[in-house]
Chains A and B, each alone.
Chain A
Amino acid sequence: KAGVTQTPRYLIKTRGQQVTLSCSPISGHRSVSWYQQTPGQGLQFLFEYFSETQRNKGNFPGRFSGRQFSNSRSEMNVSTLELGDSALYLCASSPGLAGATSSYEQYFGPGTRLTVT
């Protein structure tokens, strides 16, 4: 079974631009979560989608948004990029359940490294 894939793996953008990152979950997984990893703040939860609906959201500004498609693939978008948005963005998938459960393992992709100049 193929793992979680993320594209692109590396991106360089300029302040003020916007960016879209893509995540393809493991086949059959319906839940996709996004995390930001930086040296200063560590790993922080952005949001989680299940069956095309945002089910949980972290404490990030509205510039960070996401969506999920009917095939469970997900995209996240960051608008008006700031230098502080430079980070490794990780996507994770899990089987999920309607009604949620905290016992499912999340499988992480390799990440997209975003550099904002």
Chain B
Amino acid sequence: GDSVTQMEGPVTLSEEAFLTINCTYTATGYPSLFWYVQYPGEGLQLLLKATKADDKGSNKGFEATYRKETTSFHLEKGSVQVSDSAVYFCALSPYNTDKLIFGTGTRLQVFP
């Protein structure tokens, strides 16, 4: 079945460091891909999305590109801030559904 694999955390970085969180997926057809973020004590917020191959999603300095050839959707940010500390979830939505399949989440900790 469809699934998402993302790198284990926690990822610990100093402020202004470069961030990469790897995400790969297995799916039939053409899923949509998402990154969600969960701040401590809060619900999930959509960070960015891409709906077809080679699309780049971006928001708040974060970017991810839908790579069908490598079935990947890696999250990147050029310069992280302490306020980016949160848990990041990669997810896919199978074609023609509103169902989301999530990865296990990656905790990011950014220190001043």
Contacts and interface: CB of A to CB of B under 8 A. Distances in A.
Contact of B45 (A50, A94, A108): A108
B42 interface: yes
B43 A101 contact: no
B97 A56 contact: yes
A56 to B, nearest CB: 5
Contact of B98 (A44, A58, A100, A108): A100
B25 interface: no
Contacts of A48: 97-99
A111 interface: yes
Interface string B49-92: 10100000000000000000000000000000000000001010
A90 B97 contact: no
Contacts, number: 71
Given A90-B43, A90-B44, A106 B96 contact: no
B23 to A, nearest CB: 14
A107 B42 CA distance: 13
A103 B43 contact: no
A16 B55 CA distance: 48
A102 interface: yes
Interface in B96-110: 96-105
Interface residues of A, number: 30
B43 A105 contact: no
Nearest to B45: A108
A106 B100 contact: yes
Interface in A84-105: 90, 92, 94, 96, 99-105
A42 B43 contact: no
Nearest to A56: B99
A23 to B, nearest CB: 12
A102 B49 contact: no
Nearest to B36: A108
Given A45-B99, A50-B98, A106-B46, 6 more contacts: A4-B43, A101-B98, A102-B93, A105-B49, A106-B98, A107-B46
Interface of A: 4, 31, 33, 35, 42-45, 48, 50, 55-56, 58, 90, 92, 94, 96, 99-111
